Amino acid sequence: MVELHRQNYRENKKIYNSILKTLRKKLGEELQIDHVGSTALPNMYGKNIIDILIGVPEEKDMDKYSNILEELGYFPGRHNAGIYRFFASSKEETKMGDIHIHLVYVDTDRYREFIILRDYLLNNKEERKAYSNFKKEIIKKGVIIRKDYRSVKSEYVTELIKRARKFMNK
């Protein structure tokens, strides 16, 4: 079930920085590691799950870094193969306070979209507010099953990414 909370931006930054230290020790300094998602943005409502993007520079190293994340106690998502892999701090359905790690080969649109969307929303307060309000409206309409919530939200995010690309390419 999806529950939205007004997220504590400063506290989430502290949590991210703590996780980043651990990841750096195990993964090394060469990987790009970024705080993404709603917890990386001020004044947002969301599920209060810390999303971390890890950019892998060589596609051939995806298995290597996946194994390290599993050793650190992160649980792989279903169908974890190829150039995008998902990991969660909880084996069960994720909830507030959990951590999601997106391990992505950097030479992909998927990787670039995480960064473009975060940067766009950081620089566009009105768009960020609209996105936060949209998520609250989904819940108000009774869409609280995670799969359904993601489906409804994904259409909005697809359009949001298009606007972000346009804006960032100015």
Which pLDDT does position 168 carry in this prediction?
82
Q: Which residues does residue 39 pair with via DSSP β-bridges, in sequence order? A: none
Distance (Å, rounded) from C-alpha 100 to C-alpha 96?
11
Query: What integer is the mean pLDDT of 59-84?
Result: 93
| Three-state secondary structure of 78-125 | CCCCCCEEEEECCCCCCCCCCEEEEEEECCCHHHHHHHHHHHHHHHCH
* Dihedral (Cα; 40, 43, 118, 83), 10-degree rounding: 50
Which pLDDT does position 92 carry in this prediction?
83
Work out how many domains the chain is built from and give that number.
Answer: 1
Q: Are 145 and 138 in contact (CB under 8 A)?
A: no
Which pLDDT does position 122 carry in this prediction?
96
Query: What integer is the mean pLDDT of 129-142?
Result: 96
Q: How confident is the model at residue 17 (pLDDT cuts 50, 70, 90)?
A: very high
Q: Residue 80 pLDDT more than 90?
A: no
Query: What integer is the mean pLDDT of 106-130?
Result: 96
Q: Are 120 and 167 in contact (CB under 8 A)?
A: yes
Within 10 angstroms of residue 141's Cβ, the number of other Cβ atoms is 9
CATH number at residue 19: 3.30.460.10
Residues 22-44: tens digit of each pLDDT:
999 999 999 999 999 999 999 99
pTM for the full model? 0.94
- The residue range of the domain holding 55 is 5-168
